[in-house]
Protein backbone atom coordinates (compact mmCIF):
# COMPACT_ATOMS: atom_id res chain seq x y z
CA UNK A 1 0.00 0.00 0.00
CA UNK A 2 1.28 3.42 -0.95
CA UNK A 3 2.22 5.40 2.15
CA UNK A 4 3.67 8.61 0.71
CA UNK A 5 2.58 10.94 -2.04
CA UNK A 6 4.81 13.70 -3.30
CA UNK A 7 3.24 16.44 -5.34
CA UNK A 8 4.02 19.86 -6.65
CA UNK A 9 2.81 22.32 -4.00
CA UNK A 10 -0.91 22.87 -4.64
CA UNK A 11 -2.86 26.14 -4.89
CA UNK A 12 -6.35 26.89 -3.63
CA UNK A 13 -8.45 28.50 -6.36
CA UNK A 14 -11.27 29.57 -3.98
CA UNK A 15 -10.83 30.54 -0.34
CA UNK A 16 -12.37 32.95 2.18
CA UNK A 17 -9.73 34.36 4.53
CA UNK A 18 -12.04 37.00 6.09
CA UNK A 19 -10.37 40.04 7.65
CA UNK A 20 -9.01 41.56 10.85
CA UNK A 21 -7.82 39.45 13.78
CA UNK A 22 -8.77 36.11 12.21
CA UNK A 23 -6.35 36.59 9.31
CA UNK A 24 -3.56 35.32 11.56
CA UNK A 25 -5.33 31.94 11.68
CA UNK A 26 -6.80 31.66 8.19
CA UNK A 27 -3.64 32.79 6.41
CA UNK A 28 -1.42 30.45 8.44
CA UNK A 29 -3.69 27.48 7.67
CA UNK A 30 -3.77 28.23 3.95
CA UNK A 31 -0.05 29.03 3.72
CA UNK A 32 0.97 25.74 5.33
CA UNK A 33 -0.41 23.88 2.33
CA UNK A 34 -0.85 26.18 -0.62
CA UNK A 35 1.59 28.36 -2.55
CA UNK A 36 -1.14 30.65 -3.82
CA UNK A 37 -4.85 31.17 -3.33
CA UNK A 38 -7.66 32.99 -5.05
CA UNK A 39 -8.99 35.25 -2.29
CA UNK A 40 -12.74 35.71 -2.21
CA UNK A 41 -13.81 39.36 -1.97
CA UNK A 42 -17.07 39.06 0.00
CA UNK A 43 -16.00 41.22 2.93
CA UNK A 44 -18.22 43.87 4.47
CA UNK A 45 -17.92 46.17 2.56
CA UNK A 46 -16.76 44.04 -0.38
CA UNK A 47 -13.53 44.43 -2.36
CA UNK A 48 -14.83 46.49 -5.27
CA UNK A 49 -11.81 47.98 -7.00
CA UNK A 50 -8.05 47.93 -7.35
CA UNK A 51 -7.43 50.13 -4.32
CA UNK A 52 -9.58 48.03 -1.99
CA UNK A 53 -7.90 44.90 -3.34
CA UNK A 54 -4.46 46.45 -2.74
CA UNK A 55 -5.31 47.31 0.87
CA UNK A 56 -6.77 43.85 1.58
CA UNK A 57 -3.75 42.22 -0.04
CA UNK A 58 -1.42 44.16 2.27
CA UNK A 59 -3.38 42.98 5.33
CA UNK A 60 -3.08 39.37 4.14
CA UNK A 61 0.64 39.69 3.44
CA UNK A 62 1.15 41.20 6.90
CA UNK A 63 -0.61 38.18 8.46
CA UNK A 64 1.70 35.60 6.84
CA UNK A 65 3.79 33.50 9.20
CA UNK A 66 7.44 34.45 9.22
CA UNK A 67 9.27 33.23 6.15
CA UNK A 68 6.06 32.35 4.26
CA UNK A 69 5.93 33.20 0.57
CA UNK A 70 2.19 32.50 0.30
CA UNK A 71 0.80 34.59 -2.53
CA UNK A 72 -2.74 35.96 -2.33
CA UNK A 73 -4.34 36.31 -5.78
CA UNK A 74 -6.90 39.06 -5.40
CA UNK A 75 -10.44 39.16 -6.81
CA UNK A 76 -12.89 42.02 -7.43
CA UNK A 77 -16.48 41.72 -6.22
CA UNK A 78 -18.81 42.66 -9.08
CA UNK A 79 -21.67 45.01 -8.26
CA UNK A 80 -24.19 46.66 -10.58
CA UNK A 81 -21.81 49.65 -10.54
CA UNK A 82 -18.53 47.91 -11.49
CA UNK A 83 -17.29 49.69 -14.61
CA UNK A 84 -15.10 48.59 -17.52
CA UNK A 85 -12.58 51.11 -16.15
CA UNK A 86 -12.52 49.29 -12.78
CA UNK A 87 -11.75 46.11 -14.71
CA UNK A 88 -8.91 47.67 -16.69
CA UNK A 89 -7.34 49.20 -13.59
CA UNK A 90 -7.62 45.92 -11.72
CA UNK A 91 -6.03 43.94 -14.52
CA UNK A 92 -3.21 46.47 -14.89
CA UNK A 93 -2.39 46.13 -11.17
CA UNK A 94 -0.91 42.67 -11.74
CA UNK A 95 -2.30 41.40 -8.41
CA UNK A 96 -6.01 41.15 -9.29
CA UNK A 97 -6.58 37.85 -11.08
CA UNK A 98 -10.36 37.60 -11.46
CA UNK A 99 -13.73 39.20 -10.72
CA UNK A 100 -16.52 37.41 -8.89
CA UNK A 101 -20.20 37.36 -9.69
CA UNK A 102 -22.43 36.93 -6.66
CA UNK A 103 -26.07 37.04 -7.67
CA UNK A 104 -27.52 39.47 -5.07
CA UNK A 105 -28.80 37.50 -2.11
CA UNK A 106 -27.31 34.14 -3.14
CA UNK A 107 -24.88 33.62 -0.25
CA UNK A 108 -22.89 35.17 2.63
CA UNK A 109 -22.32 38.92 2.10
CA UNK A 110 -23.86 38.96 -1.35
CA UNK A 111 -26.29 41.82 -0.77
CA UNK A 112 -24.21 44.21 -2.90
CA UNK A 113 -24.04 41.61 -5.67
CA UNK A 114 -25.37 41.88 -9.19
CA UNK A 115 -29.17 42.25 -9.44
CA UNK A 116 -29.50 41.59 -13.19
CA UNK A 117 -26.85 40.03 -15.36
CA UNK A 118 -27.52 42.56 -18.14
CA UNK A 119 -26.28 45.30 -15.79
CA UNK A 120 -22.73 44.03 -16.09
CA UNK A 121 -22.57 43.08 -19.79
CA UNK A 122 -20.20 45.98 -20.64
CA UNK A 123 -18.04 44.99 -17.67
CA UNK A 124 -17.94 41.36 -18.81
CA UNK A 125 -17.00 42.57 -22.29
CA UNK A 126 -14.07 44.46 -20.79
CA UNK A 127 -13.04 41.39 -18.79
CA UNK A 128 -12.99 39.28 -21.93
CA UNK A 129 -10.93 41.98 -23.67
CA UNK A 130 -8.24 42.30 -21.01
CA UNK A 131 -8.24 38.62 -20.02
CA UNK A 132 -9.67 38.79 -16.49
CA UNK A 133 -11.53 35.57 -15.61
CA UNK A 134 -15.12 35.66 -14.34
CA UNK A 135 -15.78 33.55 -11.25
CA UNK A 136 -19.41 32.72 -10.51
CA UNK A 137 -21.42 31.66 -7.51
CA UNK A 138 -23.90 29.75 -9.63
CA UNK A 139 -27.28 29.79 -7.93
CA UNK A 140 -30.48 31.64 -8.74
CA UNK A 141 -32.02 33.45 -5.81
CA UNK A 142 -35.76 33.39 -6.54
CA UNK A 143 -37.59 32.26 -3.42
CA UNK A 144 -39.94 29.96 -5.37
CA UNK A 145 -37.00 27.86 -6.60
CA UNK A 146 -36.16 24.98 -4.29
CA UNK A 147 -32.74 25.42 -2.72
CA UNK A 148 -31.59 22.02 -4.06
CA UNK A 149 -32.44 23.12 -7.63
CA UNK A 150 -30.88 26.58 -7.63
CA UNK A 151 -27.62 25.57 -9.29
CA UNK A 152 -29.38 23.78 -12.14
CA UNK A 153 -31.64 26.79 -12.72
CA UNK A 154 -28.62 29.07 -12.78
CA UNK A 155 -27.03 26.97 -15.53
CA UNK A 156 -30.17 26.95 -17.66
CA UNK A 157 -31.22 30.57 -17.13
CA UNK A 158 -27.95 32.45 -16.80
CA UNK A 159 -24.65 30.66 -17.18
CA UNK A 160 -25.41 29.10 -20.54
CA UNK A 161 -26.25 32.59 -21.85
CA UNK A 162 -23.04 34.13 -20.53
CA UNK A 163 -20.96 31.34 -22.05
CA UNK A 164 -22.65 31.90 -25.42
CA UNK A 165 -22.52 35.66 -25.36
CA UNK A 166 -18.88 36.02 -24.24
CA UNK A 167 -16.89 33.31 -26.03
CA UNK A 168 -13.61 35.06 -25.19
CA UNK A 169 -14.27 35.23 -21.44
CA UNK A 170 -12.67 32.71 -19.09
CA UNK A 171 -15.31 31.51 -16.66
CA UNK A 172 -14.89 29.46 -13.49
CA UNK A 173 -18.07 27.88 -12.22
CA UNK A 174 -17.20 27.89 -8.52
CA UNK A 175 -17.84 25.11 -6.02
CA UNK A 176 -19.99 22.97 -8.28
CA UNK A 177 -22.37 20.62 -6.46
CA UNK A 178 -24.41 18.75 -9.07
CA UNK A 179 -24.12 16.25 -11.88
CA UNK A 180 -25.72 18.92 -14.07
CA UNK A 181 -22.89 21.36 -13.37
CA UNK A 182 -20.17 18.76 -13.96
CA UNK A 183 -21.80 17.83 -17.24
CA UNK A 184 -22.28 21.44 -18.31
CA UNK A 185 -18.62 22.22 -17.71
CA UNK A 186 -17.45 19.04 -19.43
CA UNK A 187 -19.45 19.89 -22.54
CA UNK A 188 -18.64 23.63 -22.54
CA UNK A 189 -15.79 25.14 -24.57
CA UNK A 190 -12.27 25.17 -23.10
CA UNK A 191 -12.68 28.66 -21.60
CA UNK A 192 -15.07 27.25 -18.97
CA UNK A 193 -13.69 25.49 -15.87
CA UNK A 194 -14.88 24.65 -12.37
CA UNK A 195 -13.63 24.33 -8.82
CA UNK A 196 -14.70 21.45 -6.59
CA UNK A 197 -14.53 21.53 -2.79
CA UNK A 198 -13.31 18.71 -0.56
CA UNK A 199 -16.58 18.68 1.37
CA UNK A 200 -18.70 18.19 -1.75
CA UNK A 201 -16.48 15.22 -2.65
CA UNK A 202 -16.69 13.68 0.83
CA UNK A 203 -20.29 14.38 1.80
CA UNK A 204 -23.87 14.50 0.63
CA UNK A 205 -27.07 15.84 2.14
CA UNK A 206 -27.56 12.78 4.33
CA UNK A 207 -24.46 13.84 6.26
CA UNK A 208 -26.10 17.21 6.80
CA UNK A 209 -29.60 16.06 7.68
CA UNK A 210 -29.97 12.34 8.48
CA UNK A 211 -30.02 11.47 12.18
CA UNK A 212 -29.78 15.10 13.27
CA UNK A 213 -28.99 18.44 11.71
CA UNK A 214 -25.25 19.14 11.56
CA UNK A 215 -24.62 22.83 11.12
CA UNK A 216 -20.91 22.40 10.38
CA UNK A 217 -21.86 20.60 7.15
CA UNK A 218 -24.07 23.48 6.05
CA UNK A 219 -22.62 25.48 3.19
CA UNK A 220 -23.81 27.04 -0.04
CA UNK A 221 -24.50 25.68 -2.52
CA UNK A 222 -25.96 23.16 -0.09
CA UNK A 223 -24.79 19.52 -0.21
CA UNK A 224 -26.85 17.50 -2.70
CA UNK A 225 -27.90 13.84 -2.92
CA UNK A 226 -25.27 11.11 -3.17
CA UNK A 227 -25.67 10.65 -6.93
CA UNK A 228 -24.43 14.22 -7.36
CA UNK A 229 -21.54 13.56 -4.98
CA UNK A 230 -20.59 10.58 -7.17
CA UNK A 231 -20.67 12.75 -10.30
CA UNK A 232 -18.35 15.27 -8.63
CA UNK A 233 -15.95 12.48 -7.66
CA UNK A 234 -16.04 11.29 -11.27
CA UNK A 235 -15.22 14.81 -12.50
CA UNK A 236 -12.46 15.52 -9.99
CA UNK A 237 -10.70 12.20 -10.57
CA UNK A 238 -11.27 12.13 -14.35
CA UNK A 239 -8.05 13.90 -15.26
CA UNK A 240 -10.13 16.48 -17.16
CA UNK A 241 -8.18 19.78 -17.05
CA UNK A 242 -11.32 21.83 -16.57
CA UNK A 243 -11.71 20.71 -12.96
CA UNK A 244 -9.44 21.97 -10.20
CA UNK A 245 -9.07 22.42 -6.48
CA UNK A 246 -10.98 25.21 -4.72
CA UNK A 247 -11.69 24.57 -1.06
CA UNK A 248 -14.30 27.27 -0.50
CA UNK A 249 -13.02 27.18 3.06
CA UNK A 250 -15.43 29.69 4.63
CA UNK A 251 -15.06 30.09 8.37
CA UNK A 252 -17.81 31.37 10.64
CA UNK A 253 -17.53 31.44 14.42
CA UNK A 254 -18.86 28.47 16.32
CA UNK A 255 -21.72 30.63 17.64
CA UNK A 256 -22.70 31.80 14.17
CA UNK A 257 -22.86 28.17 12.97
CA UNK A 258 -24.49 26.53 16.00
CA UNK A 259 -27.52 28.76 15.95
CA UNK A 260 -31.25 28.76 15.19
CA UNK A 261 -30.28 30.46 11.91
CA UNK A 262 -26.78 29.22 11.22
CA UNK A 263 -24.37 30.70 8.68
CA UNK A 264 -23.33 28.84 5.53
CA UNK A 265 -19.71 27.77 5.15
CA UNK A 266 -17.35 24.93 6.12
CA UNK A 267 -13.88 25.57 7.52
CA UNK A 268 -11.63 23.18 5.63
CA UNK A 269 -8.42 25.21 5.31
CA UNK A 270 -6.88 23.54 8.36
CA UNK A 271 -6.56 20.15 6.63
CA UNK A 272 -7.66 20.78 3.06
CA UNK A 273 -5.14 18.79 1.07
CA UNK A 274 -5.48 15.86 3.47
CA UNK A 275 -9.25 15.89 2.96
CA UNK A 276 -8.84 15.85 -0.82
CA UNK A 277 -6.33 12.99 -0.52
CA UNK A 278 -8.91 11.02 1.40
CA UNK A 279 -11.56 11.64 -1.26
CA UNK A 280 -9.23 10.67 -4.10
CA UNK A 281 -8.13 7.55 -2.26
CA UNK A 282 -11.75 6.43 -1.91
CA UNK A 283 -11.76 6.34 -5.70
CA UNK A 284 -8.34 4.69 -5.98
CA UNK A 285 -7.28 7.80 -7.82
CA UNK A 286 -4.43 9.20 -5.73
CA UNK A 287 -2.28 9.39 -8.86
CA UNK A 288 -4.74 11.99 -10.22
CA UNK A 289 -4.53 14.25 -7.17
CA UNK A 290 -1.49 16.24 -8.27
CA UNK A 291 -2.93 17.37 -11.59
CA UNK A 292 -6.23 18.38 -9.93
CA UNK A 293 -4.53 20.17 -7.03
CA UNK A 294 -1.43 21.63 -8.64
CA UNK A 295 -1.63 21.77 -12.47
CA UNK A 296 -5.13 22.37 -13.80
CA UNK A 297 -5.69 25.59 -11.83
CA UNK A 298 -2.57 27.52 -12.90
CA UNK A 299 -2.95 26.19 -16.46
CA UNK A 300 -6.51 27.53 -16.62
CA UNK A 301 -5.53 30.92 -15.19
CA UNK A 302 -2.46 31.13 -17.41
CA UNK A 303 -0.08 31.28 -14.44
CA UNK A 304 3.12 29.25 -14.01
CA UNK A 305 2.89 25.97 -12.12
CA UNK A 306 4.66 25.85 -8.75
CA UNK A 307 8.02 24.12 -8.62
CA UNK A 308 8.40 23.33 -4.92
CA UNK A 309 7.11 19.92 -3.77
CA UNK A 310 5.24 18.72 -0.69
CA UNK A 311 4.77 15.25 0.76
CA UNK A 312 1.70 13.60 2.23
CA UNK A 313 2.34 10.67 4.53
CA UNK A 314 -0.10 7.93 5.48
CA UNK A 315 -0.62 8.57 9.18
CA UNK A 316 -3.70 8.60 11.38
CA UNK A 317 -4.12 11.88 13.18
CA UNK A 318 -7.02 13.55 14.92
CA UNK A 319 -8.30 16.98 14.07
CA UNK A 320 -8.73 19.39 16.99
CA UNK A 321 -12.27 19.82 18.36
CA UNK A 322 -12.00 23.53 17.72
CA UNK A 323 -9.50 26.16 16.66
CA UNK A 324 -8.84 29.70 17.85
CA UNK A 325 -10.47 32.32 15.65
CA UNK A 326 -9.66 35.86 16.81
CA UNK A 327 -11.18 35.98 20.30
CA UNK A 328 -13.66 33.23 19.35
CA UNK A 329 -13.57 29.67 18.03
CA UNK A 330 -14.08 28.01 14.69
CA UNK A 331 -14.96 24.34 14.30
CA UNK A 332 -12.98 22.74 11.47
CA UNK A 333 -14.74 20.27 9.21
CA UNK A 334 -14.27 16.77 10.71
CA UNK A 335 -13.39 18.22 14.12
CA UNK A 336 -12.33 15.47 16.51
CA UNK A 337 -12.24 12.86 13.73
CA UNK A 338 -9.31 10.91 12.38
CA UNK A 339 -7.71 11.63 9.01
CA UNK A 340 -5.48 9.11 7.28
CA UNK A 341 -3.13 11.39 5.38
CA UNK A 342 -0.91 14.06 6.84
CA UNK A 343 1.06 16.81 5.16
CA UNK A 344 4.70 16.75 6.22
CA UNK A 345 5.88 19.96 7.80
CA UNK A 346 8.36 21.89 5.68
CA UNK A 347 11.97 21.75 6.82
Ligand X SMILES: NC(=O)N[C@@H](CC(=O)O)C(=O)O
- Positions annotated as catalytic residues are 248
Out of Zn ion, ligand X, none, which partner does residue 204 contact, by CB within 5 to 8 A per kind? none
Q: Is there a binding annotation on residue 100?
A: yes
Q: Is 175 annotated as a binding residue?
A: yes
CB atoms within 10 A of CB 228: 22
Shortest distance in whole angstroms from residue 107 CB to ligand X: 3
- Report CA-CA distances (Å) from 142 to 106, 112, 154, 263: 9, 16, 10, 19
User: HSE-up of 233 (CA within 13 Å, CB side)?
Assistant: 22
Whether residue 14 is annotated as binding a ligand: the answer is: yes
- Minimum CB–partner distance for residue 267 and ligand X (Å): 10
Q: Which residue is nearest to Zn ion (CB)?
A: 137
By CB under 5 A, name the binding residues for Zn ion: 107, 137, 248
Let me know how many helices (H) and strands (E) the chain has, helices first. Answer: 14, 13
Give me the least distance between CB of 268 and ligand X, in Å please.
10
Residue nearer to ligand X on the CB measure, 72 or 265: 265
Which of ligand X, Zn ion, none binds 42 (CB below 5-8 Å, type-dependent)? Answer: ligand X
Minimum CB–partner distance for residue 174 and ligand X (Å): 7
CB of 107 or CB of 240, closer to ligand X = 107
* Closest by CA position to 321, among listed 303, 336, 307: 336
108 touches, from Zn ion, ligand X, none (C-beta below 5 to 8 Å by class): ligand X
The nearer residue to ligand X, 16 or 179, going by C-beta atoms, is: 16
Q: Which is nearer to ligand X, 53 or 286 (CB)?
A: 53
264 annotated ligand-binding residue: yes
Residue 265: name its binding partner from Zn ion, ligand X, none (Cβ under 5 to 8 Å by kind): ligand X
Q: What is the DSSP string of 155-179?
A: IIIIIHHHHHH-TT--EEE-S--SH
Residue 143, judged by CB atoms within 10 A of its CB (0-12, 13-18, 19+), counts as exposed
Check if the beta carbon of residue 331 is closer than 8 Å to that of residue 318: no
Q: Any binding-site annotation on 137?
A: yes
Interaction site with ligand X (CB under 6 A): 16, 42, 107-108, 137, 219-220, 248, 250, 264-265
Count of beta carbons in the 10 Å neighbourhood of residue 58: 11
219 contact choice in ligand X, Zn ion, none (CB below 5 to 8 Å, kind-dependent): ligand X
Q: How far is the CB of 83 from ligand X (least distance, A)?
A: 24
Could you give phi then psi for residue 259, rounded to 5 degrees?
-150, 165
Q: Is 299 exposed, middle or buried (CB count within 10 Å of its CB: 0-12, 13-18, 19+)?
A: middle
Do 39 and 73 form a contact (C-beta atoms < 8 A)? yes
CA distances from 106 to 64, 111, 162, 212 (A): 31, 8, 18, 25
- Note the Cα 310 to chain centre separation in Å: 21
Residue 315 has a CB neighbour count (10 Å cut-off) of: 14
Closest to ligand X by CB, 79 vs 107, is 107
Shortest separation between residue 217's beta carbon and Zn ion, angstroms: 15
- Phi/psi zone of residue 156: left (φ > 0), alpha (ψ -120 to 50 degrees), beta? alpha
- Residue 26 or 107: the one with the smaller Cβ distance to Zn ion is 107
Nearest to 61 by CA among 45, 43, 77, 39: 39
> Is 42 flagged in the annotation as binding?
yes
16 is in an annotated binding site: yes
- Nearby residues of 74 by Cβ (< 8 Å), 6 or more positions away: 39, 41, 47, 53, 54, 56, 57, 93, 95, 96, 97
Binding residues for Zn(2+): 14, 16, 100, 137, 175, 248
Binding residues: 14, 16-18, 42, 100, 137, 175, 220, 248, 252, 264
Binding residues for substrate: 16-18, 42, 137, 220, 252, 264
Amino acid sequence: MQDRITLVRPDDWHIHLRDGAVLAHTVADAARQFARAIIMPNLLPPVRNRDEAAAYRERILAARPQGSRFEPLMVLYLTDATSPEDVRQAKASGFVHAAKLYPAGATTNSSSGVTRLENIFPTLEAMAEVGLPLLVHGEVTRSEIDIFDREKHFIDEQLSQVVQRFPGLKIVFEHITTRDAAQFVTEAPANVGATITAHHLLYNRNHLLAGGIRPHFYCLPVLKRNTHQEALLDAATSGNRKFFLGTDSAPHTRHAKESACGCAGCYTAYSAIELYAQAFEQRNALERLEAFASFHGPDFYGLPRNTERVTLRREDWTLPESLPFGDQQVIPLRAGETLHWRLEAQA
